[in-house]
Amino acid sequence: MPAKRHLWTFSTNHVLFHFIILPNKSQSIHFIVFQKTRKPKYKTKQNSLPKKKSPATPMDSKPSSEVSFEFPTAFRIYNDGRTERFKGIETVPPSTDSTTGVQCKDIVLSPQSGLSARVFLPKLPDPTRKLPLLIFIHGGAFVIESPYSPLYHKRVGLLASEANVVALSVHYRRAPEHPLPVAFEDSWDAVEWAAAHSTRNGPEAWLNDHVDFDRVFIGVGMILFHPYFMDDEPDKLLEVIYPTCGGSDDPRVRPGNDPKLGEIGCGRVLVFVAEKDFLRDRGEDHVFHLFNPSCDNAVDLVKKVVSFVNQD
């Protein structure tokens, strides 16, 4: 586990963040490209940024209907600061999967901030065997979805079963109510919370009893699902969810500019990209594996993750 905080962060499958890995002798990088032509599902709407909410008066107590920013099919922000989410709202309770035997439960990592997570434990034929830990940071542009949404509950449960890992799916605080870098800090706090279990004396028994802390994956290894490779063009979405960002050269969103990147604390990296991802001109739709998990490419993606996690 990294011992100190870096200025940059990583992306799993959310829409925003450039991630460059600079390989050295101890690192290996695997790029998996799925090829299939489809039209993009989403586009950002270039509207003005949301205005600060003014104190309500008896004459203007009704919510504003004027939209300041919209990410079609995902979310909308009104001039009065309200956020309306179109997806990622539904939740499912923790349960035991009757087919795979994967158990899950919801836990609070920090009562102070409200940081929480859903932890998954695969079926254990040998309860004494220690398993890898997958720390999963869900997608959704840092605005929609959660570990409790059907989409990510199913996805992380599948990864726990197929890869035979304990999985910690992090519920970070979301923008725009909590602008970035709050989600970065929450994700890092979750990593530190998990690392505290390496002495077998942490607050969560499943991590104390079943995790091999020499095999920890953030996704030692890193797994990136459909990250966005940011360029120098202005990004209205970034302005909305990360108003204090220093621009496209900011190492917190462009890690290749961080002189400490070579200190990354993992020896292997696996990157999945969809060739015709609307976030980049490159086959399959962005996060196709979430919306069509039974298609051949989605099944192959899971197999690649399983192989990556379980190789020596």
Q: Give residue-wise pLDDT tens across range 207-252.
A: 999 999 989 887 545 676 666 655 677 788 888 999 998 887 888 7
Asked whether residue 196 is assigned to any structural domain, the reply reads yes
Q: Are 115 and 109 in contact (CB under 8 A)?
A: yes
37/297 Cα distance (integer angstroms): 13
Q: Which two tokens stand for residue 227?
A: 């990250």
The dihedral through the CA atoms of 128, 132, 137, 138 has a sign that is: negative
- pLDDT, tens digit, for every residue of 54-109? 444 445 556 778 999 998 888 999 999 899 999 899 999 999 999 999 999 999 99
- pLDDT, tens digit, for every residue of 186-206? 999 999 999 999 999 999 999
Span between the terminal Cα atoms of the chain, in Å: 18
Return the higher-pLDDT residue of 101 and 39: 101
Nearest Cα to Cα of residue 88 among 100, 71, 104: 71
Asked whether residue 288 is assigned to any structural domain, the reply reads yes
DSSP 153-206: HHHHHHHHHHHT-EEEEEE---TTTS-TTHHHHHHHHHHHHHHGGGGS-SS-HH
**Domain span including residue 113:** 28-43+90-310
Asked whether residue 304 is assigned to any structural domain, the reply reads yes
pLDDT mean across residues, the chain = 76
Q: Which two tokens stand for residue 299?
A: 């099944």
Asked whether residue 61 is assigned to any structural domain, the reply reads no
Q: Which two tokens stand for residue 66?
A: 């004027």
pLDDT greater than 90 at residue 115: yes
Asked whether residue 155 is assigned to any structural domain, the reply reads yes
Total tally of structural domains belonging to the chain: 1
pLDDT greater than 50 at residue 33: no
260/227 Cα distance (integer angstroms): 20
pLDDT in the model for residue 152: 92
Query: Which pTM was predicted?
Result: 0.73
Asked whether residue 51 is assigned to any structural domain, the reply reads no
Q: Which residues contact 114 (CB under 8 A, 6 or more apart)?
A: 108, 173
CATH of the domain at 133: 3.40.50.1820
69/90 Cα distance (integer angstroms): 23
* Banded model confidence at residue 117, pLDDT cuts 50, 70, 90: very high
Strands 103-110 and 131-137: unpaired
Asked whether residue 144 is assigned to any structural domain, the reply reads yes
Taking phi over 0 as left and psi of -120 to 50 as alpha, with beta for the rest, 11 belongs to: beta
pLDDT in the model for residue 44: 39
DSSP the chain: --SS--S----SSSS---------TT-EEEEEEE------S---B--PPPPPPPPP-TTS-SPP--EEEEETTTEEEETTS-EEESSS-------B-TTT--EEEEEEEETTTTEEEEEEE---SSTTS-EEEEEEE--STTTS--TTSHHHHHHHHHHHHHHT-EEEEEE---TTTS-TTHHHHHHHHHHHHHHGGGGS-SS-HHHHHHEEEEEEEE--EEEEES-----SS--HHHHHH-TT---TT-TTT-GGG-TTGGG-S-SEEEEEEETT-TTTT--PPTTHHHH-TTSHHHHHHHHHHHHHHH--
- pLDDT, tens digit, for every residue of 154-178? 999 999 999 999 999 999 999 999 9
pLDDT in the model for residue 292: 61
Q: Which two tokens stand for residue 259?
A: 């002189």
Asked whether residue 8 is assigned to any structural domain, the reply reads no
